[in-house]
Amino acid sequence: MGNLALMTVGLLLWPCVAAGQSNNLETPTAEVSGPDDGTIGEISTTGAGIPAEFTPLTNGERLRIYLRSAFGPGAIVKAAAAGGIAQANGKPKEWGGGADALGDRIGNAYAMHVIRKTLEHGGAFALHEDNRYIRSTETGFWPRSKHVIGSIFVARNDAGREHFAYSRFGSAVGSSFISRIWMPPSSNSTGDAAVTFGITMATDIGGNFLREFMPSIGKRFRKH
């Protein structure tokens, strides 16, 4: 996996250098809140998909969100969980079992995650997209769940207008196919890349469910 390390380092330079070249690294007027890299606290939505208090991301905020999402504790936990599941399923079979195989699987999951986040944040920077998750203002499990699933397809421009999330989907496709480069024969087909893409998007939806419902659950526990 030596070529993977070089590839990852090269990809990392793009958003970091791009953000660093800008003079717009001022302290943000409002700190992004939430359990992960894609949440805007309690900001509500209004007509035409524009959040009532939407503030575009500064380049400094973009860089901080990227670093936290790609290299923070949450990324390591996700990679460990994904590697553990792959170990339990014995995939890819060529890597066998044991501690070394588990390390390879965790490293593979983490490399895919870093590449995906690098592509996503680099693309979002170039396209002026904001992929942060905004919680629903509706009540009831099903209306909020529809919002969770629908949000996976949505990004916002600097004015807060919604459009298709090109950087999110493009990064998921890109990382799924790039990772085939170092995968063994049993897992390096186009079909395998498609499965990885599907799992990636399903994981994103699961993350949105947590961002949507965990604050409400936490409030209920604090009342008791």
**Per-residue pLDDT tens over the stretch 171-187:** 999 999 999 999 999 99
Domain boundaries defined on the chain: 51-223
pTM assigned to the model: 0.77
Token couple for 36: 């992960």
Higher per-residue pLDDT: 30 or 186:
186
pLDDT (0 to 100) of residue 215: 85
Listed residue (153, 207, 200) closest to 174, CA to CA = 200
Q: Is residue 122 over pLDDT 70?
A: yes
Task: For Cα atoms 148, 167, 104, give the angle at the middle one, nearest 5 degrees.
Answer: 90
Mean of per-residue pLDDT scores for the chain: 82
* pLDDT for 37: 53
Q: Where are the alpha helices (DSSP H) in the chain?
A: 2-20, 59-71, 73-89, 99-127, 141-151, 166-178, 190-223
Residues 47-69, mean pLDDT to the nearest whole number: 82
| pLDDT for 86 beyond 60 | yes
Residue 31's pLDDT band, with cuts at 50, 70 and 90, is very low
R_g over Cα of the chain: 18
13 sits in which H/E element:
helix 2-20
